[in-house]
Structure formats: C-alpha cells, structure tokens
Structure 1
Amino acid sequence: MKERFAKYPFRGNAHGLTMFEVTHVYQLTPPPPELYTVNEYIVAAQTWHDLRFFAYFLHHIEPRLNGRVRNFLLREGLDKYDPERFLDYKQSCVIAMLECLESYDPYKGAEFLTYAHHAMGNALIQCRMMEESGSFASLDEYKRVRGIAWLYKESGKSKGEVVSEYAKKEGCSEETAEQYLTVAQFNRSQVSLYVTAQDEDSEETGEDVTRDDSWDYMAILWNGAQAIAVQTAFEKLTYREQRLLEERNAVCMTCGRVSSISARKSFEELAVMFEGSTASGAERAYRKAVEKLTVLLVEAGALHAVRLKRKSVKRIKKKIAAAVYEYQADCDGEWGEIQFDFENGTAEIVRLAEWDTMVSKVFAERAVKYIRACDADNLPKKLLFAF
C-alpha cells in the first residue's frame, strides 16, 4: 500500500501536506459553541473585537469554502488535488474575508458570505494571475484580458470584429482592445489562459480561451511547470508520432503555437503525408500516438489516466441493458470492476483497483461518469482517457 501512495505526489509534497489536512485546516477540536446562525459569529467578532469568533465562523463554512476553491480550480484547468496550491487559493479567500470584516454592516440584510463573495472571487483570480507566464499591471487589466479572450473564443468572429465589439462594449479605444487581445493570444501560446464564465452568482470566473480545444491535452500543454514534462514526453515519441500529433491538432511543440482548428490535417491528408497508409491506418496510428504520449505523461506525473476494457454486456432486444467494465488507475497495477445498469440508470463499483479505497476511487468515479455519458448502444470496448 505504501508503494501505491508513493505514486501520487499530488496528495503530499515536500512540506508533508495532504489534501485532507488542507481541507480541514480550520476544523476546531472541541467544536466551537453553537449559535443560532453562522452569521452571528461575524457579528460577535465585530461586537467584541475578538477574532476567535471569526475562527468559529471558518470552522462552520470551511466545506463551502473548499467547494468554491475546488470549482474555481476545475474551471481553470488546474490540479484540484495539489495541496499547496489548494491551500494558497484558500488562504487568499480567508484574507479577503478578513479585509471585508471591518466594513461589513449586518443590519443591511446581507449575509457576510454574500457581502464578501466578490472580494473572494477577486482573490482567486489574483492567485490565477500570479501563475500566468505574462505580467499584468493590475488585476483589472488581467480581467480585461480574460474578458476579450472569452469574447474571441465564444463569438467565432475575426480579430478585427472582436476588437471593435469589445471597444464599444467597454468604452475603450480599439487600439487598447487590440492590445488586450494580443496579450491574451501571447499568453495562450505559452500557458493555459482562462477567461470569463458565470459563477453560481453570475460572477465572472473562468473558461478556456483556446478557440479549438480539439486535443484533450491542450489545456496541459503550456501550463506552467507542466510544459517541461510535456515537452520531455513528446521528445520520446518517434518522428512519425510527433508529426501525427502536431499536424492533427494544429500545434507546434517547438514554439507552442496553436493554430485555428481549420488548419488541422484530416486523416486522409495524414495518410498522404505518410505514403503507403490509408485514412483508417492514419487514424489508428494517431490514436496509438495519443495513448503513448498519455502513458508517458502519467509516468511523469503530469496527468492521470483511466484505462477501461469491457468485460461483458447484457442485451435485451438487441439493446445493451447492462455492462461490466474493468478499470486500471494510471495504467498500472491490479484492475478494478464496475457494473452498469443502463435500464435503471445506475452504476456500482464492485471492486476498486488494487483494493484501494483512498486513491483509486477517484479513478472509478471518473470511469463511471465517462461511461454513463456514452451512448448505451455504442459503448467502447476499450479505451484510455486522461484527466
């Protein structure tokens, strides 16, 4: 079991932190005294000028705080199981709440969490800004860059049209708008820059800026320190495998340029590039290259993957009513088993991979979610997918 856990650096680190510790950092023993509502702890902290009540408040709202940080990291395409990063984002939210404590007026009718929600959102975006490869003069500038990047991605319009539309919307000059878009495109060629989407209270938070997310690993490609792992893994592929991945996904692994989806090669075009191949042969070679790169990235700790193989199916009137899949966590170790009942819309994890209740359950849940999203009449016999 110790060897199994040693393969998961994202659950621990040089400082000895674990995800359990960082998600329970504000839990008090014994529990704090109960008040009628959680907001009363904030009122008490203000009335008595005693931050112990703020600590009691954090004890009760920590699960909600964890959820907000986790959702933000997911939307940004970041690893939600990295203890140090998770704690950094979480502590930034707490600092934002402390700064809001003095100016909060409970008699205006709003709960403290509602009052501090916008400040916490800014704190999360500030953390994200610090991780980008580019430099920004202020948080407001970073938000504007995210905003125009989102507009460029979602509208599908030309650069000139987007610049004109953004300038009218924000009341700035087209020259300024073009500068923001240029910065966004420059960052996207190096790291994964994320932009505005709607949070639970319509606050702008995060969405991928890439115009053509055709490759499952594009979000990882130039994501900070991961870029080194990706480049190292890519260099271990054969020349043919490298060309297949680059041409099919319209990406240059030398400079990080991501071209428009219209520039990606079809399998027929790839077959012509590699004489003696057919379109179906080029597709099989491409799939094998993707799988090989995935395995290399898993070995490097850059991502995780679930390998699935269908064990059996049960048909009723030629339709698949149930299926049994075996799954493997990170392409290594003993297989687990999952049973799917498509008639009742249920799934049961019969056996966890390596009988591991702590780590491989995450992989099992990913496998369940993936298969349930598939067409029951077109279930894959085997596959490998990354997350």
Structure 2
Amino acid sequence: MSEERFWNTDEYASTAKFAVQDRAMTMRQAGRIFRLDSAPPKVDDINDYIVSAVRENDLIYFTYFLHHYEPRLNKRVYRFLLTEGIDRYDPLRFLDYKLSCVLAMLECLPNYAPDKGADFLTYAHHFIGNALLDCRRQEEAGSFKSLDEYKAARGVAWLYNNSGKSAKEVIAEYATEQNCTEETAAEYLTLARQNRSRVPFYSTMQDENSEETGEDVTCDDSWNYADILWNGVRADAVQAAFDKLSRKEKFFLEKRNAICMNCGRVMPWDERYSFEQLATAYEYSTTSGAERAYKKIVDKLTGLLVDAGVLGVVELKLIDKNKKIAAAAYEYKAVHRYANDDDEWGEIRFDFSAGTAQIVKLADGDLSRTNVFAKIAIRQILKLSMSELPKKLTIPFELEQEKIRYGS
C-alpha cells in the first residue's frame, strides 16, 4: 500500500504547504486541514472507508475517512495539549501533533484486519496515544532514549508525587508493579527528577477512554524560583531582595533550587537538596518541618519582589465547583506593590466544557484596561482539569512582562 498518493492529495496539500512556508496558519485552518471541498461518497459507518482502503489497496478512502474523523481527532489533540499544560492555541504545534496522529494511523493501517471484528479507531487508539506522547517527549528538556523510557519516567514520577512515600519506597513499589529491578526503577525516577523544573512534567493518569491525561507532578514547591530568577526578571532587584534574607533562608533557597546566587550558576539537578537533607542540616525533627520552612522563605522572597515592583501575584480561592456541568468559580486577588490588604477580591467563573472563563467582578488593584491579574488566573486555571482544581492557589509572575504581553 503506497502512502505517496495520500500525502499528495490535492484537497489539503496546498493548505499544509501554506502553513509550513508562510507560518500564517490560523487555528481554523489547522482544524480543517483534512476537510475535502466535495463531500466523499456516503457510507453508513466511517469504518467502511477504512475497510475499502485495505481491500482495494487505495488510500483515497483514507482521505474520505479523515474528512469525517477530523473533528474527533481535533478534540483528542486539543484535550491532550490542554491536560499537558501546553499552549493549545498555537496552530503549528497543534498541526504537528495532529499530523503525528495521522502518520501513526497510516503506519498501523496495513496491519488492520477488518475481519477480526474491531473497528479501526479501536485498533488505532493505542497508536494515536503513543504518537501524542512521543511528540511531548521530543519537547521535554530531559533526554529520553525511547518512548517506553519516557512513559516509565512519567509513571514513576506520578507515583512519587502522589503516594507521599520516600524515594526508596516508591522505587521498591514501582519495581514490584512493573516487574523490573529496583536499579531500573531508580534510573527512571532519576530521569524524572532531572527533567523536573526545566519544563512541565506530567503523569500518566488514564481517563475513562483510556487516554493519557496530564497531572502535574512538579507542584511541591510554591513556584519555580530558579526559573523566575534567571529567565527575564531583573537580576539587580532579585539580588537586592535575596540580600535581605537571613543566612538560613539563603541556604534553603540555594540548596533546594541548586543555584548559586553569587555567580548565577545552576548546578546539576542531582546536587539539589531534598527536604530530608535540609531537615538534617538545620536539625528539624521532620522533613515536613523543613518543607514548611522552605515555603515560608519562598513566600518572603516573593513579598520582597512584589514590594520591589518586579513580581505581581494572583491569589485564588475556590468558591464553587460543579462537576455535573464542568464549571467552577474562583475569587481572585491582585497583589502588587500598590495593593492594600483590604482590597476587595474579584470573581471569575470557568466553563471547562467550552474552555472559557468570564470575569464576573474585577478585583481591586487589577489593571482595569487589560485585566492582567484576571487573565493570568484564567490562563493557569484553564490548564487544569476539574479533578485537579486546587482550593487555593498563588501565582507569581513577572509583572512588566505580562503587562507588555497584554498591552497594558
């Protein structure tokens, strides 16, 4: 079965060429890249197109199949990008993921046997999921030798973050579950930890359709100190705020984030102190005590940077959650150098089924023309699923950069 005819199909080849050369594709175009100008011959079930493609050895039927399947494929790609926290409004990235899914279907098509009773989408479901994950793997900062290694690292990372157990216990449990050695499980966990904090890293939870969903496994720190410190925020203001901290506070921040404030060097991730090590260094009775101390220090540094006008902070409180209609409401507060403690909170309502949000009430201190603080909150919350919604959330951000972004 030749793939050449498929890839040269006139109905969508010109649009794909336009996207690659001019980089001016819209989301509407990316969502209709396989839509034919003329409707294909009618069938009772779109799986009939696949059966014809296999039996007649003609991929024109595959183009007919894509014409009808594209809206469902769009939803699957969109949902994956959403749960992974990736910008789902980038047409070229969206198309990259989508084309990978189509290529995966093409690759498994010759081995599809209609006589076995399963329709093609059931047969191809696993291959499409792997294609999405492989695209994600290639965007990760970590180095993963294969898709299997990447999936294993995601799995052990989810277990480590959600079990509340020590690394040693997680390694033993994962090794038992996956029937591998503890050395192998430890390697996977090391890969996950090395990748942490460089780019978002998500778990391999399964939804009701056995599709990958994304659950952030990097949320035990209030915010990514190293990322904010060296990726755009004014270094002089950060250094001045850091100098106001005590010796112990400086030690906690530098050791926990594997960064030297004197030279700005980011150290290897395996040199990063665990909360166990921080607890030992300052004689805390429990690791949770060291973790609470660390988070208080982060909050203090955040406050100093807010006072300096470098950071803005959005505080969120969940006030309503309705799983039946996939909706939620949050109160939000805009915290910046001119804000007052008695400023009134605003309110934002979210519709997760439509992927939209409405600002019901603007918080005191939010920028009335561009609503920067509300938009930061909306952008963050819409990355989450209903099951991941926190009761409270604090979101620090570089104030000037976001004001520029939203045209303030």
Contact kept? 2:156, 2:189, Cα under 8 Å: yes
Of residues 70, 74, 96 in structure 1, which corresponds to 2:104?
96
Which residue does 1:233 correspond to in 2?
233
- Structure 1: distance between partners of 2:362 and 2:292: 34
Paired letter, 1:28: L
Contact kept? 2:229, 2:238, Cα under 8 Å: no
Q: Can you list the C-alpha shifts for 1:198-233, whole angstroms capped at 9, x where unaligned?
A: 134234453322251533xx4xx89xxxx6997113
- Structure 2: distance between partners of 1:384 and 1:310: 22
Cα distance, 1:109 vs structure 2 = 2.5
Of residues 125, 147, 153 in structure 1, which corresponds to 2:155?
147
> Percent of counterpart pairs with the same letter?
43
Show the 5 A alignment for 1:331-342.
Answer: 333=369
Q: Can you list the C-alpha shifts for 1:15-38, whole angstroms capped at 9, x where unaligned?
A: 112212111111111222221111
Cα distance, 1:72 vs structure 2 = 1.2
Cα distance, 1:179 vs structure 2 = 1.3
Q: RCO greater where, 1 or 2, for CA within 8 Å and sep 6 or more?
A: 2
Q: Can you list the C-alpha shifts for 1:91-117, whole angstroms capped at 9, x where unaligned?
A: 110001111211112232222111100
Of residues 119, 126, 146 in structure 2, which corresponds to 1:111?
119
1:210 is the counterpart of 2:218: yes
Over aligned residues, Cα RMSD in angstroms? Answer: 4.8
Which residue does 2:43 correspond to in 1?
35
Aligned-partner SS, 2:158: helix
Which residue does 2:311 correspond to in 1?
292
Pair 1:236–1:293, CA change in 2 (3 A): farther
Which residue does 2:61 correspond to in 1?
53
Which residue does 1:349 correspond to in 2?
none
Cα distance, 1:291 vs structure 2 = 7.8
Contact kept? 2:233, 2:398, Cα under 8 Å: no
Show the 5 A alignment for 1:235-274.
Answer: 235=235, 237-239=237-239, 241=241, 251=257, 255=266, 262-265=290-293
Aligned-partner SS, 1:102: helix
- Structure 1: distance between partners of 2:236 and 2:35: 46
Paired letter, 2:180: C
Contact kept? 1:248, 1:264, Cα under 8 Å: no
Contact kept? 1:248, 1:265, Cα under 8 Å: no
- Structure 2: distance between partners of 1:121 and 1:178: 26
Cα distance, 1:237 vs structure 2 = 4.3
Cα distance, 1:61 vs structure 2 = 1.2
- Structure 2: distance between partners of 1:86 and 1:129: 15
Paired letter, 2:111: S
Pair 1:270–1:201, CA change in 2 (3 A): closer
Contact kept? 1:76, 1:207, Cα under 8 Å: yes
- Structure 1: distance between partners of 2:22 and 2:233: 24
Pair 1:212–1:57, CA change in 2 (3 A): same
Moved more, 90-99 or 256-265: 256-265
- Structure 2: distance between partners of 1:94 and 1:200: 23
Which residue does 2:141 correspond to in 1?
133
Pair 1:192–1:335, CA change in 2 (3 A): closer
Contact kept? 1:197, 1:205, Cα under 8 Å: yes
- Structure 1: distance between partners of 2:28 and 2:174: 43
Q: So what's the TM-score if we normalise by structure 1? A: 0.63
Contact kept? 2:97, 2:132, Cα under 8 Å: yes
Contact kept? 1:41, 1:54, Cα under 8 Å: yes
1:20 is the counterpart of 2:28: yes
Cα distance, 1:290 vs structure 2 = 9.4
- Structure 1: distance between partners of 2:137 and 2:294: 36
- Structure 2: distance between partners of 1:312 and 1:184: 38
Pair 1:153–1:228, CA change in 2 (3 A): closer
Pair 1:167–1:268, CA change in 2 (3 A): closer
Of residues 197, 207, 210 in structure 2, which corresponds to 1:199?
207
Pair 1:118–1:331, CA change in 2 (3 A): farther
Cα distance, 1:160 vs structure 2 = 0.7
Q: So what's the TM-score if we normalise by structure 2? A: 0.60
- Structure 1: distance between partners of 2:174 and 2:297: 37
Contact kept? 1:97, 1:119, Cα under 8 Å: yes
Aligned-partner SS, 1:194: coil
- Structure 1: distance between partners of 2:97 and 2:220: 29
Contact kept? 1:163, 1:177, Cα under 8 Å: yes
- Structure 1: distance between partners of 2:49 and 2:229: 46
